[in-house]
Structure 1
Amino acid sequence: MVMDEQVRVDKWLWAVRIFKTRSIAAEAIKKGRVTVNRNPVKSSRTVKIGDTVEVKKQPITYTFKVVGIIGKRVGAKLVPDYMKDITPESELAILKTQRYVMNGLRDRGTGRPTKKERRDIDQFQDYDDLFDEEENF
């Protein structure tokens, strides 16, 4: 499980799939959105097992515990071997609230029709037009 004793923070963030690319991770670190043990860091800072990494991704701050050290990107199923998500419930509640506000509460059948509903409406209107034509004869 442990490749090295320590690895650069930008490389670790990329390897455990918190950021899509290492350059995006480095940019977030440069902008001050990443802290290790509550201290702002540079990309070259190394992480060790037991460190706490906080990543600010709007609208919340994710908190991760370093469980294993890895320098190569792994599949999503292997990520729990290297990190533990310890983000507080209060932060996750903010995320749920934002999703609720963005999507809104809309019952099925209200608002814009779905693609299937649109096809059904068009088919019904075409069928209705056939009866109108027959009445004209």
Structure 2
Amino acid sequence: MRLDKLLFALRLAKSRTLAQRWIAEGHMRRNGVRVLRIDQPVCPGDTLTLPLPDARGAPVLVIEILSLPLRRGPATEARMHYRAVGPALTGADHSP
């Protein structure tokens, strides 16, 4: 599944356009490697690092993809397809 479609289906991005912008601006990482292609394929077992622009104190979320959703369903259904791994990074944790 394409990364932009996955972020939208998992309700991690409010729109595919927003997901595409995050990817194009270099804010996304797949398995620790920066992703710049919108159509980057994602598979179960991949680890994604994504921005949380409205977060207070934890601007980054790290998740492991457990399975790929067939559709954009309710939030409870979307959360069954991924799990948070490790602590989210705070601004103090980033090294310049």
TM-score interval, smaller chain: 0.7 to 0.9
- The one-character-per-residue Cα deviations of 1:78-119 (angstroms, maximum 9, x if unpaired) are 122211122406x3xx49xxxxxxxxxxxxxxxxxxxxxxxx
Comparing both chains, which one has the higher relative contact order based on Cα–Cα distances under 8 Å and sequence gaps of 6 or more?
A: 2
Alpha-carbon contact 1:12-1:71 (below 8 Å) kept:
no
Alpha-carbon contact 1:14-1:25 (below 8 Å) kept:
yes
Alpha-carbon contact 2:2-2:41 (below 8 Å) kept:
yes
Query: In the alignment, which residue of structure 2 is the partner of 1:30?
Result: 24
How far has the Cα of 1:71 moved from its partner? 4.7
Alpha-carbon contact 1:28-1:34 (below 8 Å) kept:
yes
Alpha-carbon contact 1:37-1:51 (below 8 Å) kept:
yes
Query: In the alignment, which residue of structure 2 is the partner of 1:54?
Result: 49
With the length of structure 2 as denominator, give the TM-score of the two structures: 0.80
> What amino acid is aligned across from residue 21 of structure 1 in structure 2?
S
How far has the Cα of 1:74 moved from its partner? 1.3
With the length of structure 1 as denominator, give the TM-score of the two structures: 0.57
Unaligned 5+ runs, structure 1: 1-6, 96-137
Q: Return the alpha-carbon distance in structure 1 between the equivalents of residues 16 and 25 of structure 2.
A: 14
Q: Matches of residues 1-137 of structure 1 in structure 2 within 5 Å?
A: 7-41=1-35, 42-58=37-53, 60-88=59-87, 91=89, 94=90
- The one-character-per-residue Cα deviations of 1:37-66 (angstroms, maximum 9, x if unpaired) are 011111110100000000023452110100
Alpha-carbon contact 2:11-2:72 (below 8 Å) kept:
yes
Change (3 A) 1:55 1:73: same
Alpha-carbon contact 1:11-1:71 (below 8 Å) kept:
no
Q: Return the alpha-carbon distance in structure 1 between the equivalents of residues 44 and 22 of structure 2.
A: 22
Farther off after superposition, 60-69 or 79-88: 79-88
Unaligned 5+ runs, structure 2: 92-96
